[in-house]
């Protein structure tokens, strides 16, 4: 159970990193934000994504009924 939960956190952190990296890279390409600011934005967005997922899972992990 704990191992599964940790793997979920790692998975969501990586997914959050990829999605936020894509978003902020697009913003840099459009000239809306400078690259150093985008690096900070990616880090913060990744941490927030993982934190929200973890907080949501603490309330009660989602389980699939075996039936």
Residue 4 domain-assigned? no
Tell me if 42 sits within 8 A of 24, measured CB to CB: yes
- pLDDT tens digits, 4-27: 677 877 888 888 888 888 888 888
Segment 35-40 mean pLDDT: 85
Q: How far is CA 65 from CA 60, 62, in A?
A: 14, 10
What is the per-residue DSSP string for the chain?
-HHHHHHHHHHHHHHHHHHHHHHHHHHHHTTSS-HHHHHHHHHHHHHHHHHHHHHHHHH--------
The span from the CA of 20 to the CA of 27, in Å, is 11
Domain count, the chain: 1
Residue 49 domain-assigned? yes
Question: In the chain, pLDDT over 70 holds for what percent of residues?
Answer: 76
Range of the domain at 42: 10-57
The answer on pLDDT for 33 being more than 80 is yes
Residue 3 domain-assigned? no
Which pTM was predicted?
0.63
């Amino acid at each position: 159970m704990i191992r599964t939960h940790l793997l979920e956190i790692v998975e969501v952190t990586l997914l959050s990193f990829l999605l936020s990296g894509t978003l902020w890279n697009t913003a840099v390409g459009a000239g809306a934000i400078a690259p150093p600011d985008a690096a900070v934005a990616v880090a913060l967005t990744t941490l927030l994504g993982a934190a929200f997922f973890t907080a949501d899972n603490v309330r009660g992990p989602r389980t699939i009924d075996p039936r």
